[in-house]
Chains A and B, each alone.
Chain A
Amino acid sequence: MSGWEIFTWFSAIALAVSGVVIFGFFLRDARGILQRNVHQSDDDSAPEDDEPSAGP
């Protein structure tokens, strides 16, 4: 196996793994984003002086 092929395999594995890991972290943050939307929807019908929810 040539150096070019090793680099290609390394790149493929690095891209796939980093893609999956970053997506995993995104899903963790997505819960915060969803909750934020739910809180904001609630805020529409709540009194004006309600505390805004924290960001994700």
Chain B
Amino acid sequence: MQISGIDLAIIGGYILMMLGVGFYVMRKAPSFEEYLVAGRSMTTPILVCTLASTYYGLDVLFGTSEIAFNDGVVAFFGYSQLSLAIYLAAAFLLSKKLREAEFTSLPDILDRFYGKGTAIFGAGASIFYSIPALSLFALGRITEVVFGIDARLGALLLGSVALLYTLLGGLWAVAITDTIQFILMCLTLAIAVPLLMGKVGGFEAVAEFAPDTFFAPFGGIPIFLMIAYAATGISILVDPGFYQRIFAATNARQARNAMLIAIGIWIVYDWLVTAGGMMAAAGVHAGDLPADVHPNDALLTAVIFALPVGLVGIFLAGVLATAMSTIDSYTLVAGANLANDVYRPLAKPNASDQDLVRYTRVGIVISWVLGYALAFMFDRLMALWVFTATALTSTVLVPIFMGLFWKGRRTPLAGMMSCAFGLGSVIIYYVGISRLGVANELWGTYIWTFDIAGASISLWQEYGLFFSLPMSLLGFVVGNSLSGGDSMPPAEVAP
């Protein structure tokens, strides 16, 4: 792609601004609570920005637009909005209980309800989930497509910028840069899609070539698959980055309000991405865009085609911002988990506040390096991410929810067995389906089809949660039954 000097200068200015924020916030050596949860003093506006930009990474920008490019409005109704219903539940169910108990991390919740063993189990799952492999890969791919730079070098250079300001300023730096990134995301998409719509002829142009299913809200997608995709949204109920933002809120009401406002923003953002993908399809059909454009790159190519010089630079900065805001948030989570939830309890229980900040910085670097290594090791990164999200949910959802909402007995063994049953069953399920099933290139997954009493049943790898969550609950019940009288003292949680 041909990018003008003005646009490159804008992108360069954006990168310098991110580093400037990191250096500014670094001026004072922070306490661990300041570094990790911003001193629990985040207000609604900054929470909205950091929530909205963290959860909407390049997977949404390019994944949703790819579905819209191929299948139409089902990208919005069938895939995106079902997950938002789960986010809504999270806003009302979790914000008060998580904020008022003053937890510091996801493993800290498990520690208070079940003790150290379960906490370390949860920390492992949280770290695995938070390693930023997919975001670094996507960042590299963007630099390759847009600037013609090798993907590994691009991910190294731009990923290092996100690493540096996260190291310097902790959650404050992450949140302030997220805010700038949020504005770039909102404004550029809000300008670009209507301009693109005008250039390619709008939805009338789409209707001229697209099949009727393009405008059918639930398209021709199997209902089980839709439920399975929506179920991936369940991961927000245990997402360590989401939890961290609730812990960082000034109070529970601000956290809940921020979540509700962010949901409203996600809805309109999802629609604009969907409309952009459909307009890109119209652009290809009209010959305005190359016929061989990859569906994944269609939105990016179409927007660059539609926007004038200057706005292209802002849009590309917004695209980079979308990836960087995810990288910074999750490296911080993984680093803190490594330092505070694994290293400290196992090796240095008496670590000082400044020690914890130092160890967290080391942990951030370790998680970033692991993410970079994994980013270019696997072909099916999206599948890897779905597996890590499923593994985290299977491991910690039941014990955390039983801790927060179950008033009865909960023993350390119940916590451990719930984690072990959940994680073990999801691993067995994934390995089993990949051995018994067949790789489906169209859907990018493994499917095992078999007959029972004349009825054909297809099990997809994506259905793992339907098996692992009941197993995790079974582990909790069995653990409770096998325990003697060693129930944990009740943790203080809001009613």
Contact = CB atoms under 8 A, between A and B. Distances in A.
Interface of A: 2, 4-5, 7-16, 18-20, 22-23, 25-26, 28-30, 33, 36-37, 40-41, 44, 55-56
B379 interface: no
Contacts of A25: 44-45
Contacts, number: 98
Contacts of B191: 12, 16
B49 A12 contact: no
Given A8-B193, A29-B43, A41-B27, A18 B264 contact: yes
Interface residues of B, number: 41
Contacts of A8: 193-194, 197, 271-272, 275
Given A15-B265, A26-B46, A29-B43, A5 B197 contact: yes
B272 A41 contact: no
A15 B182 CA distance: 11
Contact of A7 (B187, B190, B271): B271
Q: Please classify the interface of chain A as helix (H, G, I), strand (E, B), loop, or mixed, using the class held by over half of its residues.
A: helix
B131 to A, nearest CB: 29
Contact of B186 (A18, A28, A29, A33): A18
Nearest to A4: B203
Contacts of A7: 271
B133 to A, nearest CB: 29
Given A12-B190, A23-B183, A41-B27, A55 B271 contact: no
Nearest to A24: B45
A18 B375 CA distance: 34
Interface of B: 24-25, 27-28, 39-41, 43-46, 48-49, 73, 172, 176, 179, 182-183, 185-187, 189-191, 193-194, 197, 202-204, 215, 250, 261, 264-265, 268-269, 271-272, 275
Contacts of B40: 55
A27 to B, nearest CB: 9
A40 B34 CA distance: 11
Given A5-B203, A29-B43, A37-B25, A12 B272 contact: yes
Contact of A11 (B48, B204, B272): B272
B174 to A, nearest CB: 13
A23 B48 CA distance: 10
A51 B297 CA distance: 54
Contacts of B176: 30, 33
B41 A16 contact: no
In this complex, the member of B41, B190, B197, B271 whose beta carbon has the largest number of chain A beta carbons within 10 angstroms is: B190
A22 B187 CA distance: 12
Most buried by A among B25, B189, B261, B271: B271
Nearest to A23: B183
A55 B41 CA distance: 5
Contacts of A4: 73, 203, 215, 275
A36 B268 CA distance: 34
A7 B25 CA distance: 40
Contact of B46 (A13, A16, A29, A36): A29
Contacts of A56: 41, 43
A19 B180 CA distance: 10
B39 A15 contact: no
Given A8-B193, A15-B190, A22 B27 contact: no
Given A13-B190, A15-B268, A33 B203 contact: no
